[in-house]
Structure 1
Amino acid sequence: MTSPSSTEQIVIRPRPNAAPAAGHRVRDTRSPEPPAPPEPPPPPAPHADHLDTTAMDELVAAYVREAPELPPGLRRARRDAAVTAALPFAHRLARRYSGRGEPLDDLEQVAGLALVRSLDRYDPSRGPFSAYAAVTVIGELRRHFRDTGWAMHVPRRMQEASLEVGRAAAALTVRLARAPSVADLAQHLNTSEQQISVALQTVSAYAPPSLNAPRRETGGELGDAIGDLDRALSAVDDRITVGDLLGLLPERERRILTLRFYGNRTQAEIAAELGISQMHVSRLISRALTWLREAMLSDEPTRWQAATAPADTARLELSAHAGSDGSFVLTVKGELERDNAGRFRDRLLSVVRRARADCAVDLSAVPLIDAAGIAALQAGYEAARARGLRLKVCAAPRLVRRTLLSAGLLPLLDPPPTGTVPQ
């Protein structure tokens, strides 16, 4: 048997349709086929807000230049197309302010409205539309936060200060690896610690807790912790003011008021203790209360003036002077109160009946007038008006003038002298 040559190759080919023996594996000696090249990845889906600002600027500029010559229908269609193309730009600006307590839908709506306004006011000769619209949209977004983002009204200066402190706190937290103190913030912003504290307190006005929020400690709601209104609290200021004003009264008047309102004494008991008549006690109380009321209503209390009438009587001096034209001036001296108001009324009505021209009542020497005296003046005014005449009150002291004004007798009062302020 001869051995094959070294240059010969032995090729074993399987017989056609020959099945391999059981338990034997057939080795495939064929060369493997090269793998199919991988399919290229699909192009990325365009982002909904992706927009070439250059293309947007050109589109808007073309619309603005051609709009005046377009028919109304086509102009509206071109405007809508420009707004639709630029809306993603506005929404992208709105997303910068997301996560600050306002819904993103509201921010996008504010940005969209600002974009439309900027489109209507845009002038292509002043630069690209994107730069102009960005300023307008960002301004409207900030205004939206100022107007609606704060639950309580806070001045703009304090809003901006609180935002600046918030940004500084975030930066210092990263730098110091801890929460910054008030002193750290003040040093970083080159301001005082008091201003930092005010800015930190202002932040609580942005989203204050609801009074209906639950209380963790005791249950219930936060509103349950608010105390009831103390009605007596509103009178504390008045009581303190009255106490100070009582010290400005003369000793006798101060003692009378103390006995009457703090000691609950009657006028008869006070008169017996002071050795004067009950009528005079009544006049002193009325005069002192009128002065206190005047002092409570003014910034500077008027100086107490002693009564010109005798201390223990109800004397009233009345004198009438007729003018050449038939007018009358009735001069009154003394306190005008209920004990002498009847006599004053009769004399005033007599003067009005005799007068042929306007009448006047001189109250320059009347330190006090009560309700009975006011009623007498009202009766004289009505009698003069029935005769077609005028009755005027002249030279009334400040205290008396204010009393007449409070009683609604402004038509009787002459204007105050030139250079004075009406009381």
Structure 2
Amino acid sequence: MATGTRGTRGAGTVGAQALPVIESPAQVAPADARELSRQFFERLAVLREGTPEHQYARNTLIEMNMSLVRFAARRFRGFADELEDVVQVGMIGLIKAIDRFELSRETEFATFAVPYIVGEMKRFFRDTTWAVHVPRRLQERRAELTRAREELEKRLDRSPTAKELAALMGIGEDEVAEARLAANGYTSASLDAALSGDAVDGEAALADVIGAEDPALGLVEDFHALAPLMAELSDRERLLLRLRFGAELTQSQIGEQLGVSQMQVSRLLSRTVAKLRAGMLGGSAEGEGSPA
């Protein structure tokens, strides 16, 4: 961990106190980054936004916690071609988490940040791939249908019928219809498009007549993935999570109910959440380790 102090008025000063100067924030070990992040968040909370001191603290937090983005990106390592883009959008989630995190939450920053990071990564894939989920078999069939249609249009100088497409592709007409239906999931209409297809002043767009997006819908996939992991927890671990995140009790209040110390509650919560996080990211709590 490379830290030091500046002899002149540095970006990391707060009144008479000074934040440690991190020469290479991205190289800070996860264990060190965890403690240093707490110090920087404490200062960030009292600094005026837009000042050099605030900018230094915020930028250092971003660089120190980039390991969280790399950790979350492992979940999408099967998409090697898009991995760099995945990391970039993950950084957006990290920045959002830093701007919204409060030490009063009694939650480790990593626990708070990972859902933001993974959420941005999932949104990237939703926005850049199929508009709706379509099985791979139908995705491939759609591509075959496109090639067959282009070939027949050149040969016949007109749009081919379903029967002609089926004959060329060696499948039934019902399968052609299924492939055509699947093709509808590949593109989606712009919400800004006029309903009639003609842009006329004052004409309603699609976005004007449909309901607003419910932010909670983005959690549905996570809830489905979390359910089997929750089932593997002990009764005590599930009770602990229910009291903390359902009833929103403090760690001290939970300790009083369970007859244990606040420190024990903190350790149990950290261990349980780490276990769930590792399962969500496709690793194991023992093998993967915990990032900053």
Smaller-chain TM-score range?
0.3 to 0.5
TM (normalized to structure 1)?
0.27
TM (normalized to structure 2)?
0.38
Q: Could you say which structure has the higher helix fraction?
A: 2
Larger radius of gyration: 1
Kindly indicate whether structure 1 or structure 2 has the higher relative contact order, using CA contacts under 8 Å at least 6 residues apart.
Answer: 2
